[in-house]
Structure 1
Amino acid sequence: MAGDSKTEKATPKRRQDERKKGNVLISKDVITVISLVGTFFALKLMFPQIIANVKDFLYKAFGYAQTKSDITEDFVMVITKETMLAFLQIVAPIVCISILLSILATVAQTKPLFVADSLKPKFNRINPLQGIKRLFSLKSLFDVIKGIIKITILIVILYSFISDSLLTITRTTQMDLSPSCSVLMDLTMALVFKICLAFVAISVCDFFFQWWEYERQIKMSKQELKEEYKQMEGDPQIKSKIKDVQRKMAMSRMMQAVPKADVVIKNPTHYAVALKYDIEKDGAPTLLAKGQDEVALRIIKMAEENNIYVLENKPLARAIYATTDINQEIPADFYGTVAEILVYVYKLKNKKLI
């Protein structure tokens, strides 16, 4: 159906939901290239130290071997220990750098993310129909083409490198260890640099394709947008019930404040406002309650039951009702009229206004 076609961009909520499921934009080629480039540049920087470690190991091994005429258990243990130590000194920093770069490249794309659901077995992955569908998907086709391009570029670069450097590589057999290693390292880094440039270009293309594919996957239909809107805004009937409950609670609190009023002004049954003036706390009389028609009658009735003076003043009641909210002070325009009323009420109660 037309309404089910996914033509709309994903909303922030949809993106957040997909992220919670572990479905985020990520390009594995970007991770591979960053790790590869960083590792080989670290290898180039650390190459002098690596050569020094190799020399040190060989000097120790051959020097120890010259002092031994027989291969004993102690000799084997020492050689094994020195070999493992040299291996750790040479390989461990490179491995750690590679792992760190892979982690940083992943976090840079996905941001810190841990999804427990990804650890759960998903049996739909072993569904043959789903497997066939994934096999003939656009993503699979892109991966196949990308793989062919990678292999082709790699073969071309290797062939060109060997053709240009074969004579130089042959000459290294006549050099000492240190200069030959330096020449081979330079040649290797030149080769790696060319491969990295090609793979960087491929990884950029892969990133944009993954971005396009990710945006396409999380697109929403118009019906999904409507459902999400309902979830976020709430069902209209439920919202109406909530508003009714809130209105009743507010009404209840307002009616409970009426007995605290000093005077109720009415018009005569259509409007009613309850005012209170606390000389020590308030800068002006405050509106405790207001109502129209039935609510006005309830306010008047409660005022009479609690011996609150009820005064009829049609213009004033209607004006205060229209301009003042609950628990707010009345506008300055009404100070004079209300003050006269309060003076009269206070005289009746033998209270002082000031």
Structure 2
Amino acid sequence: MAEGDNSQEKTEEPTPKRLQKAREDGQIPRSKELSTSLVLIVGALSLWVFGGIIFNGAKKIFTSNFTIERELLFDDKQMVIHLTSAALEAILAISPVMFALVLAAILGPLALGGWMFSGKSLLPKLSRISPLSGFKRMFGLKSLVELLKSWAKVLVIAACTILLFFSLENSILYLNQEPDRQAIVHAVDLVMLGAIVLAISTLLISIIDVPFQIYDFTKKMKMSLQEIKDEHKETEGKPEVKQRIRRLQYEMSQRRMMEDVQGADVVITNPTHYAVALKYHGEGMEAPVLVAKGVDEVALKIREIAKAHQVPIIESPALARSVYTYTRIGKEIPEGLYVAIAQVLAYVYQLNQYFKGEGPRPKQPVFPVPPNLRA
């Protein structure tokens, strides 16, 4: 199947790399309804909490500007001073509410999707002005959901308004029977209560919108099996290349191993299927070290190199299999094989003495292999 084939059904969950790339492109789940609800709720609550500060600030501005002396009205400099003072007073009065609204506008989007800044989302895209893409957006599932949300917002707010009105009907109707000052304060409290309730009612839409946005985003991010395979190839490399690299690494390690056979002290064989090469010298080496091992063709190659470089070859099937199985190349032999390998090295030393004409030909002993180390 050709790469990039979009005919496959996208049924697989998105990979972490796909999600990271989408985030870098500015594609994350967002809920405008949740952000709007938080701003409305914070705005209504901040007006309730800081309403006294706003009232006192407005009172101070009106008092200051309605008590200006007549002579100062014709002084341009004094008018500028009064205007500046009134502007500063207004800014100080509304600053707590504005700060709360700005904070809600920043933190609202973070509630779903987290913090994200991507310049790619600002770049122009032809798909945004494509008529075909426009029709898909107009008649797609998302457009239908947006339409339903708009109607739902109208219905929810209208229903909450009607319920609120009937619950506060007596308080509203009897405002005209209260003293002026008390009626004004009471009316402001009713208005603020209504604003808070209606703002909170918008959360009903957000409760529906947030799961839908998560579902819609996950659906867009889903991948086909071919896309997952292609991504794996890009990340890990093509299997053919990886296999060739492993083969080259194996060949290099084999060459190094065969070079180490030349300096081995003894090669123990099966005699045909297994071959292990050991090296030991007393300086800084607590036990003999396995420098090479192999089976079949590799074992044959080890024996050929050993013969070419006059490395003693000892036949001991059980010991050869045991060393091959329980020792890694470059590591010391297991402690349980110390006695057997010591006898091998002693036998090799006696053979060398014999070939030099300095002793009788030794008889090869049976090298003991513990039962727990038999292979």
TM-score (norm. length: structure 2) = 0.80
CA distance in 2, matches of 1:162, 1:271: 95
Contact kept in structure 2, 1:3 and 1:223, CA below 8 Å: no
AA of the residue aligned to 2:173: L
AA of the residue aligned to 1:294: E
Pairing 1:1-354 to 2, within 5 Å after superposition? 4-63=8-67, 65-66=68-69, 68-158=71-161, 164=169, 166-167=172-173, 175-176=180-181, 182-232=185-235, 234-279=237-282, 281-304=284-307, 306=309, 308-345=311-348, 348=352
Task: Sort the Cα spacing of 1:187 and 1:111 in 2 relative to 1 into closer, same or farther, 3 A.
Answer: same
Contact kept in structure 1, 2:57 and 2:89, CA below 8 Å: yes
Most deviating of 45-54 and 260-269: 260-269
Most deviating of 20-29 and 247-256: 247-256
AA of the residue aligned to 2:129: I
By how many angstroms is 1:118 displaced? Answer: 0.7
Identify unmatched segments of 5+ residues in structure 1: none
Deviations 1:120-176 (A, max 9, x none): 11121011111111001111111112112212333444456567364356568x634
Task: Sort the Cα spacing of 1:58 and 1:307 in 2 relative to 1 into closer, same or farther, 3 A.
Answer: farther
Between the two proteins, the alignment pairs up a number of residues equal to 346
Task: Sort the Cα spacing of 1:284 and 1:67 in 2 relative to 1 into closer, same or farther, 3 A.
Answer: farther
Contact kept in structure 1, 2:58 and 2:90, CA below 8 Å: no
- Secondary structure at 2:250's aligned position in 1? helix
AA of the residue aligned to 2:302: I
By how many angstroms is 1:91 displaced? Answer: 2.5
Contact kept in structure 1, 2:265 and 2:278, CA below 8 Å: yes
- Secondary structure at 2:111's aligned position in 1? helix
CA distance in 2, matches of 1:68, 1:206: 61
Task: Sort the Cα spacing of 1:58 and 1:265 in 2 relative to 1 into closer, same or farther, 3 A.
Answer: same
Identity %: 34
CA distance in 2, matches of 1:256, 1:192: 87
Deviations 1:155-210 (A, max 9, x none): 444456567364356568x634xx56643432122112321232111110111222
Task: Sort the Cα spacing of 1:334 and 1:108 in 2 relative to 1 into closer, same or farther, 3 A.
Answer: same
Task: Sort the Cα spacing of 1:83 and 1:267 in 2 relative to 1 into closer, same or farther, 3 A.
Answer: same
Contact kept in structure 2, 1:273 and 1:289, CA below 8 Å: yes
CA distance in 2, matches of 1:116, 1:329: 58
Task: Sort the Cα spacing of 1:252 and 1:109 in 2 relative to 1 into closer, same or farther, 3 A.
Answer: farther
CA distance in 2, matches of 1:297, 1:264: 11
CA distance in 2, matches of 1:181, 1:72: 37
Contact kept in structure 1, 2:160 and 2:201, CA below 8 Å: no
Task: Sort the Cα spacing of 1:139 and 1:97 in 2 relative to 1 into closer, same or farther, 3 A.
Answer: same
Deviations 1:22-41 (A, max 9, x none): 22122111111112212221
Task: Sort the Cα spacing of 1:266 and 1:218 in 2 relative to 1 into closer, same or farther, 3 A.
Answer: same
| CA RMSD after TM alignment | 3.0
By how many angstroms is 1:330 displaced? Answer: 1.9
Contact kept in structure 1, 2:72 and 2:79, CA below 8 Å: no
Most deviating of 16-25 and 276-285: 276-285
Deviations 1:255-309 (A, max 9, x none): 3433443322233443221212354544432212112233233333444555544
CA distance in 2, matches of 1:156, 1:182: 26
Task: Sort the Cα spacing of 1:321 and 1:209 in 2 relative to 1 into closer, same or farther, 3 A.
Answer: same
AA of the residue aligned to 1:175: D
By how many angstroms is 1:238 displaced? Answer: 2.2
